[in-house]
Amino acid sequence: MMILVTGGSKCGKSRYAESLFRNRTEQKIYLAAMQPFGEEAHTAIRRHRIMRAEKGFLTVEQYTDIGRADFPDGSAVLLECMGNLLANEMFRGDKIIDCADKIISDIQQLYQRTSLLVIVTNQVGSDGITYGDGTAAYISALGRINQKIALAADKVIECIYGIPVTVKG
Amino acid sequence: MILITGGAYQGKTAYAQAHVPFAITDGACCDFEEAKSSKILKNYHVLVRRAADAGMDAEAFTEKLCQENPDCIILIDEIGSGIIPMEKPERIWRETVGRCGCIIAAHADSVIRLVCGIPTAIKGALL
């Protein structure tokens, strides 16, 4: 089962995504793609790790090459979030890398090792602003990735002010 | 008339193409008169900006388009969900796109919104 959870900033995606794991009995993995920059981020991450441990999640950090994340086969996995993963893959070198297809193939590899894969992503293309090349390429790549995951997913949910709206499934 | 909307890169063009076999006119570069006879017109939010830049009344143009080309399928990005722009022309453009979208939606038999490539009919039926 693959579920894609999308929405704008601070719309309750994470809380909703975590709620999908409430009744799971297998190992629960929180796959974190955000790279901590600075002490504030480290403090926030420590706090979140403890909060999730209380909910039965083991946190695994994997910033790129998500298919290679280390966790037991058959785990229920919450990947957060596609926006961070894409930025890490896209801006890892000197040049911007068009990595949409690579990420899709990594996700397929990851999905095969899970009993449940919930992916949290972002809606970033609705402000009408014309950005510079790097940001425009990022918005385009995230849109394409979201479409491909949505096609493969059993369910797609858009969160709006904390309310989950079923888009698919 | 059908309006297809959603944020940038949500699969609006691919959705229209998959269901309707007509050539697509690009509002980002087409002639204004051409828009009035096109079967599928994409990037309407850009056409609105071009109309304003050309000194035209975009809302009046949109009304006219709806009357003269009532079977058109129009694709428009949802652009109003960010911060209100600091620059006045950007603010006016954003508001005008919103108003033009409302004009087309009011005329349309169907309004379809795409999220992650998945269409939802928010008025009428899907294609």
Structural domains of chain A in order of their starting residue, each with its CATH number = 2-168 (3.40.50.300)
| Residue (of A85, A68, A80) closest to A29 by Cα position | A80
pTM over 0.90: no
Number of structural domains in chain B: 1
The answer to ipTM > 0.90 is no
pLDDT value of position B94: 92
Domain of residue B116: give its range: 2-123
Q: Among the residues of chain A, which ranges form H helices?
A: 13-19, 39-54, 82-90, 100-111, 133-152
Which of A3, A4, A11, A123 to substitute to test the interface with B, most B CBs within 10 Å? A123
Per CB-CB distance under 8 Å, the chain A contacts of B97 are: 128
- Which of residues B27 and A46 earns the better pLDDT score? B27
User: Over chain A, what is the mean pLDDT?
Assistant: 94
- As a whole number of angstroms, the distance between CA B116 and CA A97 comes to 22
pLDDT tens string B88-119: 999 999 999 999 999 999 999 999 999 999 99
| Residue (of A44, A41, A91) closest to A64 by Cα position | A91
CATH number at residue B18: 3.40.50.300
Test B81 with A167 for CB contact under 8 angstroms: no
